[in-house]
Amino acid sequence: MLKKKSAPSYQIVAALMVFICGALIGHLSGCTAVNPYYDPGKPHHTEKGFKNNYSGPVSKSFLDFLKWQIHRIANDLPPKAQTPTPVVPADLAFISSNAKAGANMQPAVTWIGHASTLVQASGLNVLTDPVFSQRASMFSSVGPIRTQAPGLSLEQLPRIDVVLISHNHFDHLDINSVVALANQAGGSPQFIVPLGVKPWMENLGISKVHEMDWWDSFMVGKVEFMLTPVQHWSARGITDRSQTLWGGWAVFGVDFQWYFTGDTGYSHDFIDTKARFASRQTQALGGGFDLALIAVGAYEPRWFMKEQHINPAEAIQIHQELGAKRSMGVHWGTFNLTDEPLDQPPKDLAMARQAVHLEEDAFFVLAVGETRKLPVRSLR
């Protein structure tokens, strides 16, 4: 297991100074961008980028960020976890055989860590937000560092058919990981990304990329992928805030339907998503999503995170509003991003389940490397 490595305070302060100086330079230069995808008929489009359906900007100012970071340093946050994130050896034999099973593939999900999962269903091997690097940061020596190795290494992955990217933050879109996947044996997977991410990937030499707006649909074989609205934001630098789109993913196979939130604050978007798919998720057609991958970590302090990251109680509300049969908690236990200890999300999730009398099997978490096999969708 990798040991937690905390950046010294002077390194954090140095990173903050870079952030502040860059923000000031961007502000003083008055630099703006024109949204090449702008469609005035779409309310979430702006002339300079994109916005949420039910809120204004949810990202905080650099002064709020500075206030939070100073408080973290002064109070030595987050607290050390009382128990390490659970890790189990990956079931490589099953994953490999299942990857080659075609129409006989057993629906299954393997937690790689953070928001990175391998979903095997409907004959496809799909990765969500793959991050295999040591740091989730724009810096090579400063920023959040992994507390344990990925549950599957890049070398242990089966050949990946599809990679889904929810948005361009560093803990969800990693240069080294996507370049390695694009160069996998047998050819590049199909990358499916929100608007604006495709040019960034093409600059890396990745050509098999399809970008989408909210509610757009794209077929890979017989499986449909649709980008859905969630409440968040995007940026990889100082001056590109919300210039690329963000979203969740709804995936429709004949034998399995699943959903991935990416990063999100709570909003009415999940009720909208349920309504949008109501006609194709009737009881006669098998009901709601067979699995929802819902973020449950990186939620404290609430004054800073509430609009952009849900907490476990809100995650359960989303599970219920989506009408998912089962949900799995992701986006926890891997990087120290916020003020709660790494082991807090499962504890808060358990309390939130108990409050609404929800069984553990209905909303579970896995150990890093663990695989959960799931039933094939049943039509009535």
Per-residue model confidence (pLDDT) at position 23: 43
Q: What is the mean pLDDT of residues 261-278?
A: 98
CATH number for region 92-373: 3.60.15.10
Percent of the chain clearing pLDDT 70 (strictly above): 91
Q: For the whole prediction, is pTM greater than 0.85?
A: yes
Percent of the chain clearing pLDDT 90 (strictly above): 87
Q: What share of the chain is helix, strand, coil (3-state, %, to 5)?
A: 30, 20, 55
How many Å apart are CA 152 and CA 370, to the nearest integer?
Answer: 10
Domain range summary for the chain, segments of one domain joined by + = 92-373
Side chain identity, residue 136: A
Q: What is the mean pLDDT of residues 130-154?
A: 93
pLDDT, mean over the chain: 92
Among the listed residues 177, 173, 170, 116, the one whose alpha carbon sits nearest the alpha carbon of residue 142:
170
Q: What is the mean pLDDT of residues 110-119?
A: 98
Tens digits of per-residue pLDDT, 118-127? 999 999 999 9
Per-residue model confidence (pLDDT) at position 302: 97
Per-residue model confidence (pLDDT) at position 139: 83
Cβ-count burial of 352 within 10 angstroms (0-12 exposed, 13-18 middle, 19+ buried)? buried
Enclosing H/E stretch for 346: helix 344-355
How many Å apart are CA 2 and CA 137, to the nearest integer?
Answer: 18
How many Å apart are CA 107 and CA 342, to the nearest integer?
Answer: 28
Side chain identity, residue 279: S
How many Å apart are CA 364 and CA 319, to the nearest integer?
Answer: 11
Secondary structure letter of residue 102 according to DSSP: G
- Give the Å distances, CA to CA, from 372 to 47, 87, 186, 258, 331: 44, 14, 27, 14, 17
Pick the range with the lowest mean pLDDT from 30-39, 76-85, 309-318, 359-368: 30-39
Q: What is the mean pLDDT of residues 342-353?
A: 98
